[in-house]
Amino acid sequence: MTGVTVQSVTVLGAGSWGTTFAKVLADAGRDVTMWARRAEVAAEIRDGHTNSRYLPGVELPSRLTATSDPAEALAGAEAVVLAVPSQSLRANLTGWRELLPREAILVSLAKGVELGSLKRMSEVISEIAEVPSGDVVVVSGPNLAKEIAQRQPAAAVLASADHDRAVAIQQASFNSYFRPYTNTDVVGCELGGACKNVIALSCGIASGLGFGANTMATLITRGLAETARLGAKLGADPLTFAGLAGVGDLVATCASPLSRNRTFGERIGRGETTAQAQEAVGGQVAEGVMSCQSIRELARGVGVDMPITEAMYRVCHEGMDPVRVGAELLGRQQKHEWS
Ligand SMILES: NC(=O)c1ccc[n+]([C@@H]2O[C@H](COP(=O)([O-])OP(=O)(O)OC[C@H]3O[C@@H](n4cnc5c(N)ncnc54)[C@H](O)[C@@H]3O)[C@@H](O)[C@H]2O)c1
Ligand SMILES: O=P(O)(O)OC[C@H](O)CO
């Protein structure tokens, strides 16, 4: 696929990032149709140019339209952006499979690893849509939706083994505030995006417990070290973790109160239950809560040590006290920084 121009794009999923990425594409001059699960959300986007539940106070471009009918949304799409949470991607995509235009470029926004199969999102898409996984374009990087929806400057990575497809989406999404770079390391970009959600949970917990900058920097740096260890084992390019999908996304997510993962962790650190923490993120997805389980299994399966991910699993899925988990993390056997 060379020199393809994408004009007509469908975004499946009308949550925070789906709506924001649709706005980015519309602001880049594309014709964008969104699919929303609820008819009233589709009507609000189409007729009122807002999505008040997910992006309160943000006006959406009038060239962006929406429907709750997936067949109507997908008709004639040259690119299809999948913008639903990781653990629901398989079921949603199975329902849409027969409606996908044959030549459309498939784009993944989700940051997670599937429970059970332990597959990355491009692998799930490849399996369900029956396309080579190298054809999928993965979007990753420091992209807190609310900031980008306000047209604050940001960069992203578009990763695909098929450089031409990544370039086509780069051309379709580049605008005055959004600067996408291409990358061919899909494994590294997807792992960076999934793992940083787990590390952001830990930073949130540390903040909720009242700890400061040294603790955050330690969790971010050691979180990057364990992410890079997993990536190296699974064939990622180590440089990716020094880029936007690695340290870039990690810093943004771990530092920002806008992050749902960090917010979830902060509430846990303050002593709230997981149900209360979920309430605090307004029913939106905090992917790290499920991904700490799948990433832990993935890492154990290939013999990679990921102590912060292990700790988050124990807090989120075994109900262990964060103070005790923190003490155990610090008390592990002493070692060389890079062993
Ligand atoms: N919000 C961000 O800042 C941001 C930025 C980059 C990447 N991401 C990633 O993008 C993906 C989507 O995130 P989001 O922020 O749009 O999520 P969200 O929780 O704000 O919205 C999810 C959307 O998916 C729909 N959906 C369809 N099937 C669903 C199901 N079975 N369960 C739950 N929701 C379902 C919801 O109705 C909603 O429209 C996630 O993997 C997230 O990690 C988010
Ligand atoms: O709000 P979060 O924690 O899901 O993070 C959003 C984005 O992934 C940041 O890049």
Q: Which residues are catalytic?
A: 196
Do both 199 and 178 map to the same domain? no
> Residue 3 — very low, low, confident or very high, per pLDDT cuts 50/70/90?
confident
Domain presence at residue 336 = no
Domain presence at residue 87 = yes
Nearest residue to 244 (alpha-carbon basis) of 126, 114, 156: 156
Q: How far is the CA of 339 from the centre of ligand 1 (A)?
A: 36
pLDDT value for 283: 84
Domain that holds residue 81: 8-184
Kindly provide the b/e burial profile for residues 9-33, where b requires at least 16 CB atoms within 10 angstroms of the residue's own CB: bbbbbbbbbbbbbbbbbbbbebbbb
Domain presence at residue 3 = no
Token code pair at residue 300: 């154990």
- Does the structure show a pLDDT above 90 at 51? yes
pLDDT value for 142: 98
The annotated binding site is made up of: 13-18, 37-38, 54, 111, 141, 145, 196, 249, 259-261, 285, 287
User: Cβ atoms within 10 A of the Cβ of 37, count?
Assistant: 15
Q: How far is the CA of 15 from the centre of ligand 1 (A)?
A: 5
Domain end among 184, 209, 239:
184
> Residue 183 — very low, low, confident or very high, per pLDDT cuts 50/70/90?
very high
Do both 237 and 155 map to the same domain? no
Distance CA(70)–CA(67), nearest Å, equals 7
Domain presence at residue 89 = yes
8 A C-beta contact, residue 207 and residue 216: yes
Domain presence at residue 1 = no
Do both 197 and 159 map to the same domain? no
- Domains identified in the chain, total number: 2
Q: What is the pLDDT of residues 283-336, one digit of tens each?
A: 898 999 999 999 999 999 999 999 999 999 999 999 999 999 999 999 999 999
User: Cβ atoms within 10 A of the Cβ of 94, count?
Assistant: 12
Residues 6+ apart with CB under 8 A from 242: none
Q: Locate tokens 């050691």: which residue?
A: 222
pLDDT value for 339: 82
As for ligand 2, residues whose beta carbon falls within 6 Å of it are 111, 142-144, 197, 200, 249, 252-253, 259-261, 287
Domain presence at residue 2 = no
> What residue's CA is closest to ligand 1, atom 44?
17
Q: What is the pLDDT of residues 256-295, one digit of tens each?
A: 999 999 999 999 999 999 999 999 998 898 999 999 999 9
pLDDT value for 4: 84
Helix or strand run (H / E) with residue 268: helix 260-269
Distance CA(155)–CA(6), nearest Å, equals 20
> Residue 182 — very low, low, confident or very high, per pLDDT cuts 50/70/90?
very high
Give start and end residues of each alpha helix (H) in 36-144: 39-43, 70-74, 86-96, 121-129
Q: Which atom of ligand 1 is nearest to the CA of 148?
A: 3
pLDDT value for 113: 98
Q: What is the pLDDT of residues 208-240, one digit of tens each?
A: 999 999 999 999 999 999 999 999 999 999 999
Helix or strand run (H / E) with residue 80: strand 79-82
Do both 217 and 134 map to the same domain? no
User: Cβ atoms within 10 A of the Cβ of 212, count?
Assistant: 9
CATH number at residue 137: 3.40.50.720
